[in-house]
Amino acid sequence: MRGFVISRLAADEAEILTIAVDAAFRRYGVGGALLRGHCARVAAAGAKSLFLEVDPENAAALALYRRLGFVEVGQRKGYYRRPDGQSATALVLKATLPQ
């Protein structure tokens, strides 16, 4: 397995709970392929939009999400816990899915 996406669908909205790519396969387009396929599947299931949270310091993930049309729609204060115990804000991103 090179990676996976876990999400939930409620009415016409989906939310990615986790997306992960094996470290050996990063920077080879696996994350983009997973995300594009996932967007198509949730759209086929009736989702009109897809949400996710991302650490603003995760530049690679942010670049991928923005390339695929995700835009920032909010923030969640204290969403992440850093290794040093400090809390960090997550960016809430949304993509509008083609119907």
- Which are the catalytic amino acids? 53, 65
Q: Side-chain half-sphere of 24: how many Cα atoms within 13 Å? A: 2
* Helices 30-44 & 59-67 angle (0-180, nearest 10): 50
- Under 8 Å between Cβ of 19 and 31: yes
3-state secondary structure at position 68: coil
